[in-house]
Chain A
């Protein structure tokens, strides 16, 4: 870069000298006037400047091109999850079932989930347990159709999830992911995220169930209290409880909690689960809980045990206790 400036000056100066020399020749042959010589120098300068600008454009264009390529790459990538033209109508009753579901992540050789079978009806609680990396979160992500399955069938409220428009399918589901994410705004904004029409009463009820009403009451501004980017002004446990309250405020057929109680202490965890059980809304829907602690899931109607993407057990706690040794291993680790 630093060599360019002296070089350009040199070229410009050389041009001037050349014009003077050849101009002098032309004038002596009476082919040019002296005034033209002065004008010619000014023109030459303008042309040179235009060339400099042009060369700058030649530097800029490849840069812009590289950027444009990256953007186009994004534009050209196709969405693999395609909505049907018409959404089917959901049956009134909450229902969820997996039939022989198999799923591969893009480019993976081994299946992340294989032969998953279970079903749940209104009022049921499904618990999914398993070691780290066994595919619990993957399974959860299949329900709102974040990924399409490779084999098998998933139904929600009696219909294949591929027959819903994604928007309609996700209206039926309230998901609390592993990582509690809050958005900038007020506590109210965050709670109403899934249900813009929720009344304050409903919000407080959701907070009560989520064991979050105490600290929101103490918060400056209460429901209007400020939430910073990423919810940094709340502790991990508080964020989790707010995220749970957010999903409770959304009236849904299926509530999914992906290890959402991990940052809660035992007492809060127990209170929350008891409140969940008593809630009339929850009783009319299906709850799917991913958990690490056995205590969280003992009273579930169906417990799914996953191991390396395969279902190694399914049934109630009592049934499983007899059958699997895996669950007893987790139990031991728990105590």
Chain B
């Protein structure tokens, strides 16, 4: 019932698929499951005490919770016995208004049950509380490590990895880990503990009845095993088409001027409709098939119920089992499939989390920019910047781009670098700012080799305008003030006057407070 709902809801895997490669309909499998798991747990090592409390609490809570139906069943047994003895008294010809019951015993049973319930709740609450803190701390550490790492990665890493990829590691994967640590991990422990304690309680009541339950449960597992993969196929179809549709939308809007100017609105609408129709068909089938799981499971559960009622009824009639135990057993049957379906769900979740962790660790394991200090003596020279016999190539295996390059620059000089595309104009600037390190020779700034300075210090001396104009989301004022930590308002306006932007900025509806969007598409190319 409740557990069956969970199965159907968890299957879609969330609409995360953007772009053609995001097919999250299928679970992503990690390559090295155990080593990565170990390393992820390594992050929790600092908080091992808290984690062990969580484990103990989770197990305790599950055991307490599993005890209660049987104890509550005893109350029913007491009631039943009262009824029986009352019936005997009536038969003997006595007149009674109320049936005789052992109220003291019933009260003590009820109190016992309440205490157990409250204990279980407190333990479960404490466990959730501690785990939330542990998981958030862990992810905080992980995020901090990733951020630090990203600062120390060479520019070439960003050249070879797309922004989307890096972003998805820092956000999606991080999120995935955080939610798994917080919820799924405790769920896993609780489910396993619940499974075994319920099984133990059932066996303690009656072995034949337990066997009957153990026959029914595999049947439902088999049914899920048949139906789920079918719906999974349609779910992944749905994700794939959703990705294609997103691509189409993205492209249409990126080239919207062209679409409109060339009268292609109708055609785009048609291809949108076609793709939309595909999604509709796939999702309809996926939802329908996965929707079948719940009624099927309910049906099988009911079969189990009937079996227990019949078998149990006979046993009670024969006086082999007290009636309260049957009541408890029915409740156990209800609860028994819950941990099983939860564990199957969790294995998928955990696998995808470990895959996420693996992707983050991959970044953490990337070689960092070396701080290869040369410890060259600081030369006294007039040149502010001096390229001295520089050798450089982007790829270690490729031919060198610069073999023996010299360029001395003195104070106050303006240097223009001219050349056809691919001649290395941008490369020179990249070397100067140490986005890449040179192979041989030396670049000196005020006589000091740039490799002997920290990158931050070196870069604070330069202001650069890139080929691709790049502005950040925020107000125009913020963007102009980007390079300096605390510029005054006058300084900003002075800089904008120097770059001839003052007039057009004042034309904009909100002046300097105009908010630029991510690609700064609300102002023209030249204005950027």
Contact = CB atoms under 8 A, between A and B. Distances in A.
A42 interface: yes
Nearest to A20: B75
Q: Interface SS of chain B: helix, strand, loop or mixed?
A: helix
Nearest to A237: B421
A232 B333 CA distance: 59
A133 B526 CA distance: 7
Interface in B30-54: none
A53 B247 contact: no
Interface in B102-125: 103, 106, 110, 113-114, 117-118, 120-122, 124-125
Contacts of A108: 507-509
Interface residues of B, number: 70
B525 A133 contact: no
Contacts of A309: 507
B262 A178 contact: no
Nearest to A29: B98
A45 B334 contact: yes
A28 B82 contact: yes
B128 A6 contact: yes
A131 interface: yes
B203 to A, nearest CB: 21
Interface in A1-38: 2-3, 5-7, 9-10, 13-14, 16-17, 20-21, 23-24, 27-30, 34, 37-38
Nearest to B106: A24
Interface in A136-170: 137, 141, 144, 146, 166-167, 170
A17 B110 contact: yes
Contacts of A141: 257
A119 interface: no
Contacts of B68: 13, 16
A7 B122 CA distance: 9
A250 interface: yes
Contacts of A21: 106, 110
Interface in B3-50: 5
Contacts of A109: 509
A132 interface: yes
Contact of A17 (B113, B182, B323): B113
A34 B80 contact: yes
Q: Size class of A's contact patch? A: 35 or more
Given A45-B334, A131-B500, A133-B526, A37 B79 contact: yes
Given A2-B129, A5-B128, A24-B79, A177 B258 contact: yes
A2 B503 contact: no
Contact of B526 (A110, A132, A182): A132
B254 interface: yes
Contacts, number: 178
B264 interface: yes
B17 to A, nearest CB: 16
A23 B331 CA distance: 17
Contact of B263 (A20, A42, A112, A167): A167
B334 A170 contact: no
B1 interface: yes
Given A53-B5, A167-B263, A177-B257, A184 B524 contact: no
A41 interface: yes
A20 B251 contact: no
A62 interface: no
Given A112-B507, A177-B258, A10 B331 contact: no
B121 A10 contact: yes
Contact of A179 (B2, B118, B500, B525): B525
Interface in B473-528: 500-501, 503-504, 506-509, 523-527
A141 B257 CA distance: 9
B254 A171 contact: no
A184 B247 contact: yes
Given A45-B334, A137-B524, A146-B257, A9 B110 contact: no
B282 interface: no
A187 interface: no
B184 interface: no
Given A17-B117, A38-B330, A173-B261, A133 B524 contact: yes
Contacts of B1: 46, 49
Contacts of A49: 1-2
Contact of A184 (B101, B251, B525): B251
Given A3-B128, A175-B262, 18 more contacts: A6-B121, A9-B65, A10-B117, A21-B106, A24-B79, A29-B99, A30-B99, A34-B76, A37-B76, A38-B326, A52-B2, A133-B524, A170-B260, A173-B261, A178-B525, A181-B254, A193-B264, A194-B263
In the A-B complex, the 6 residue pairs with the smallest Cβ-Cβ separation, listed nearest first, are: A132-B526, A133-B504, A181-B255, A2-B128, A6-B124, A175-B261
Interface of B: 1-2, 5, 61, 65, 68, 72, 75-76, 78-80, 82-83, 86, 97-101, 103, 106, 110, 113-114, 117-118, 120-122, 124-125, 128-129, 131-132, 182-183, 247, 250-251, 254-255, 257-258, 260-264, 323, 326-327, 330-331, 334, 420, 500-501, 503-504, 506-509, 523-527
